[in-house]
Amino acid sequence: MGKENRGGRGGHKPNFSNRSQRGGRPRTGLGAKSKQKTIIEPHRFPGVFIAKTPQYDLLLTKNFSPGQTVYGEKKIQVTDESSPETKIEYRVWNAFRSKLGAAILNGIESIYMQPGSKVLYLGAASGTTISHVSDIVGENGVVYGIEISERSGRDLINMAKMRNNLIPIIEDGRKPYKYRMMVSMVDCIFADVAQPDQARIVGMNAQYFLKNGGGFVFSIKATCIDSTAEPAVVFANQIQELKKMGFKTKEQVTLEPFERDHCVVTGVYRAKKKKE
């Protein structure tokens, strides 16, 4: 495997604090009505942004559905410098509510999705993280959200009404043949189903939908697989399972301090062999 990343990386060092990632209010105030100038910079991942305030930095995505929030997150509006009448709205990405957000803050090397990408999202729940994925892939991309729970699925469907790049599918991720007519080949699979057989679920979906050389981002909660084993052993076993199914893992990132005993593993599927 590639490397294990325990957070932080060289280059730009954002000043993220725990409070800021809960969407906490900075002492001097921040938001649409704030007089203080907020500087928004692109993150190194296209479609992801950072708000720089004197107190701390905030992870953001550009709101695909301006005016709407999904999980009570804060919004930041700024004036478009090229057109002063136009406002751009961003949503604060709370890393305590999103494993993908936590992995980004902990310095993950690649998320295998960007504006225009097609993403299959397994375990969409009521839509917290997938809404940020919808923001990232934007109007030229698409995200298919698979969720088994009808209750969470109702919220997901309601949210998707405001986001025409998000296709909610209330189905069991173990049965990809049931939704094969609705999903195209994708660039990336993101998986967060928190099930003991989650590696097999990802493998089955990759066989149907992930293009050769496509990326995967796989969240592992150790206690969902085996609550008696050391998390490091559980992670290593899951990686072995992925390898047997044609995934080449490249990176493992801990989600501490945002989530205990979780990691995110990324890599590529049926990677093309390099010519000698």
Binding site for ligand SAM (CB under 6 A): 98-99, 122-123, 125, 128-129, 146-149, 152, 172-174, 192-195, 201
Q: Which of 26/141 has CB closer to ligand SAM?
A: 141
Measured from the Cβ of residue 128, the count of other Cβ atoms closer than 10 Å reads 22
Of the pair 68, 152, the CB lying nearest ligand SAM is at: 152
d(CA 48, CA 264): 18
Q: How far is the CB of 47 from ligand SAM (least distance, A)?
A: 17
| β-bridge pairing 75-80 and 48-52 | unpaired
Residue 107 Cβ, how far from ligand SAM at the closest point, in Å? 19
Instruction: Provide, rounded to whole angstroms, the least separation between the CB of residue 146 and ligand SAM.
Output: 5
Q: Are 101 and 129 in contact (CB under 8 A)?
A: yes
Q: Which amino acid is at 204?
A: M
Least separation in angstroms between CB 126 and ligand SAM: 7
58 vs 102, beta carbon nearer ligand SAM: 102
**To the nearest whole angstrom, how small is the minimum distance from the Cβ of residue 202 to ligand SAM?**
11
CB closer to ligand SAM out of 123 and 214: 123
- What per-residue string of b and e applies to 85-106 under the rule 16 or more CB within 10 Å gives b? eeebbbbbbbbebbbbbbbbbb
CB of 271 to ligand SAM, least distance (A): 25
**Residue closest to 216 by CA, chosen among 201, 226, 231, 229:** 201
- Per-position DSSP letters for 174-229, written without gaps between them: T-GGGSTTT---EEEEEE----TTHHHHHHHHHHHHEEEEEEEEEEEEHHHH-SSS
Q: Which helix (H) or strand (E) holds 78?
A: strand 75-80
Name which of 1 and 224 has its Cβ closer to ligand SAM.
Answer: 224
Strands of the 39-42 sheet, one edge to the other = 39-42, 48-52, 57-62, 83-92, 75-80
DSSP 272: P
58 or 124: CB nearest ligand SAM: 124
